[in-house]
Amino acid sequence: GHLTEDPQTAVELCQAVPGLGLTLDVSHYLCGKYASRGHDVVYPYVYHVHLRDTSPTQLQVPIGLGEVDYARIISQLKRFNFGRVMSIELLPELLGDLDRGLELRKIRMLMETLL
């Protein structure tokens, strides 16, 4: 999102508003204005997760061809006892000729191996 693209600003916002949590979409930290900044500081405040694969130049790429480290995401979430919702977010306008069903199956299988 635009308000909380900067990880530190997101943390400060959560600290200022008791009970406020974040939707983590790592793709915005890999491809975007704050791509070079670490985002580990947000994990204690994550209430929801969006998953897709991403490259430094494209917000959405075919699953397995991007740079999202799913194992690290799951590890960090487990570290903070995350027990909430993870959603697969594939934007139709960025799918192009890709088979949506195949992409969903690929990420589901990947996540099943990590959970």
Over residues 84-106, the pLDDT tens digits come to 889 999 988 888 888 989 999 99
pTM as predicted: 0.84
Q: Is residue 2 part of a domain?
A: no
CATH (domain of 44)? 3.20.20.150
Residue 20: domain span: 7-114
Over residues 61-85, the pLDDT tens digits come to 999 999 999 999 999 999 999 988 8
Q: Is residue 86 part of a domain?
A: yes
Number of domains making up the chain: 1
Between the CA of residue 29 and those of 43, 78, 83, 96, 98, what are the distances in Å?
13, 20, 22, 23, 24
